[in-house]
Structure 1
Amino acid sequence: MKFKVLCSDLDGTLLSSKNNVSDFTITEIQRIKKAIRVILVSARMPRSMTYLQRNLGIEDQPMICYNGALILEGKKELSSTVMTIDHLDEVYDLSESLGIKLGLYHKDEWYVEDNTERVRKEIHHTQSTPIFRDTLESIKDWKNRQIGAHKIMLMGTEVATDTAFSQLEKQLGRQLHIYRSNETLIELSPKSISKLSAIQMLLKEGETLDDVIAFGDNYNDMEMIQHVGHGVAVANAREELKLIANSVTLKNTEDGVAHFIKQHIII
């Protein structure tokens, strides 16, 4: 297989552990990076991705953050799309009624109220630390600064997030992407963007989506996997994703992306 661009999701896909890539993955990316552009595509904030770029030796490449809501090339901002404060107010009211906590993200800013077990896991997984303060204070601050959220994370019990997901689909489904990360987490991002739209924005002259190979594991990877030249799901991916992928590789914990690159990508 020959491609011009390789795009990969991080958590559950390229990362073999909760917060890093394996030596095998680094070796394979190093092998192909002069011939193929390697672009990281994630729901993460920038500072939770730059250390991975550095480890992989691809700091010269752009990266797609927040599922496409923020695209950076080094410190240069190529594209930024945020949710409005009105949307944030509506999400806050719903979350408060259900006892759900919010994580608010704007560029490299991350705000939460409490140092919960879920937040501590996120700190470990992403190698980033949030600012702890009352969510209403964060919303007031953002209103004063006239900024919106690149991502909103809802953290609650399985029962509460089930209810929230259904309500969010009814209230904001036409304005926002609403992803179920797992049983207790919901991620929100602007409707006008996606991982696929961000990849399309980064294509150079003479490149098309047919020149792209992409790897993923979750619902927010489905559009990307379905429409690039070759979409690959890891074995631990959602069944819905595996059904639409061109190929299925090993689990992320078994270095599935690196194994697929070694076996199928010829330089």
Structure 2
Amino acid sequence: MQFKAICTDIDGTLLNSDRDLSPRLKAIVRNIPDSIPLILASSRMPDAMRHLQEDLGRIAEPLICYNGGFVIDSEGQVLDSVEIPFPIVQSIYTLCQGEEIHLSLYRGENWFEEKEDFWSTREMTNTKVIPTWITLEKLLEEWGSTQSGAHKIMCMGESNLINWLFGELHLHFGDQLHLYRSKDTYIEIAPKRISKASALKLILESKYDFGMEKVIAFGDNYNDIDLIQSVGWGVAVANGRPELKAVCKELTLHHKEDGVALSLEKYFG
């Protein structure tokens, strides 16, 4: 099959055991013509993806951020922006008050943190981004005045607390929010109507002369299922969720074994 674009998840898919891009991956990407876009699709914020684009030598490429809630084209223009409405953001903040749950808020190019602790330090290390430090009470006062929402909310804490919170969020907002459990200590929250697949379709319709059937895509988790099902060739890494493996067209090696690089070598080597 002749692919005209590559779209890939990042964490648990593209990155190796050191949460970095392997020399093998960078080598094969260098051999792929620039006319074939490599589109990163992640729950990450833009700046947590741009340094990976630079390392791959692919700085002028579209970005699918916040699982499709914030879509940027190859020229840096915002193609789509879908936020969690402010009243829901406020409700989630209130729900977490009095509990040992760390709350991170993301909007556009910005990541907001109240304090430096175990959770925020780990995210800074993993993403290589420094947040904006502000009390969330003050931030929400500012957002409330303009009814501004969040592109992503991340809740982190001990697994029993996160299990409780997941149940509460599903009960009250399950019809309005995507609730992703990447780990038993994390919940990533996004608007219900967005997805990586819908974001990719928008990018292709806006900037390219081919459709989803010409794309090879890679993923590992629940938020990759729509993407893997919607493209011409969907590939799951060996560490992927069983539900994703059930709908993929190809299974490659574990992300720690350079599964994405292996498949790219097969089709573009």
Task: Specify the code of the residue in structure 2 equivalent to 1:59.
Answer: I
- Could you report, residue by residue, the CA deviation over 1:172-200 in whole angstroms, capped at 9, with x for unpaired residues? 11111111121010011111211010011
Aligned equivalent of 2:95: 94
Task: Specify the code of the residue in structure 1 equivalent to 2:160.
Answer: V
Please tell me whether the aligned partners of residues 19 and 124 of structure 1 are also in contact (alpha carbons under 8 angstroms).
no
Written as runs of structure 1 = structure 2, the 5 A alignment for 1:2-41 is 2-41=2-41
Please tell me whether the aligned partners of residues 2 and 266 of structure 1 are also in contact (alpha carbons under 8 angstroms).
no
Q: Residue 154 of structure 1: CA displacement?
A: 0.6
Q: Does 1:253 align with 2:256?
A: yes
CA distance in 2, matches of 1:197, 1:98: 35
Task: Specify the code of the residue in structure 1 equivalent to 2:57.
Answer: G
Please tell me whether the aligned partners of residues 7 and 216 of structure 2 are also in contact (alpha carbons under 8 angstroms).
yes
Q: Residue 60 of structure 1: CA displacement?
A: 1.5
Q: What is the TM-score normalised by the length of structure 1?
A: 0.94
Task: Specify the code of the residue in structure 1 equivalent to 2:2.
Answer: K
Equivalent position to 2:230, from 212, 227, 231: 227
Aligned equivalent of 2:217: 214
- Could you report, residue by residue, the CA deviation over 1:129-166 in whole angstroms, capped at 9, with x for unpaired residues? 11233221121122235421010001111011111111
CA distance in 2, matches of 1:31, 1:117: 40
Aligned equivalent of 1:262: 265
CA distance in 1, matches of 2:135, 2:19: 27
Matched residue SS, 2:142: helix
Q: Residue 33 of structure 1: CA displacement?
A: 3.5
Q: Residue 61 of structure 1: CA displacement?
A: 1.2
Equivalent position to 2:244, from 241, 254, 264: 241
Among all aligned residue pairs of Structure 1 and Structure 2, give the percentage whose two residues are the same amino acid.
39
Please tell me whether the aligned partners of residues 15 and 22 of structure 2 are also in contact (alpha carbons under 8 angstroms).
yes
- Could you report, residue by residue, the CA deviation over 1:95-149 in whole angstroms, capped at 9, with x for unpaired residues? 2254322100011211122322122111011000112332211211222354210
Task: Specify the code of the residue in structure 2 equivalent to 1:106.
Answer: R
- Could you report, residue by residue, the CA deviation over 1:22-77 in whole angstroms, capped at 9, with x for unpaired residues? 12111111212334221010111111111111111111111111101111134321
Aligned equivalent of 2:182: 181
Written as runs of structure 1 = structure 2, the 5 A alignment for 1:150-165 is 150-165=151-166
- Could you report, residue by residue, the CA deviation over 1:214-263 in whole angstroms, capped at 9, with x for unpaired residues? 10111111111122111111111122211221111111111110111102
Please tell me whether the aligned partners of residues 44 and 66 of structure 1 are also in contact (alpha carbons under 8 angstroms).
yes
Residues 33 and 162 of structure 1, relative CA distance in 2, 3 Å threshold: farther
Q: Does 1:114 align with 2:120?
A: no
Could you list the runs of 4 or more consecutive aligned residues of structure 1 that deviate by over 4 angstroms after TM superposition?
none
Q: Residue 17 of structure 1: CA displacement?
A: 4.1
| Runs of 5+ unmatched residues, structure 1 | none
Q: Residue 171 of structure 1: CA displacement?
A: 0.8
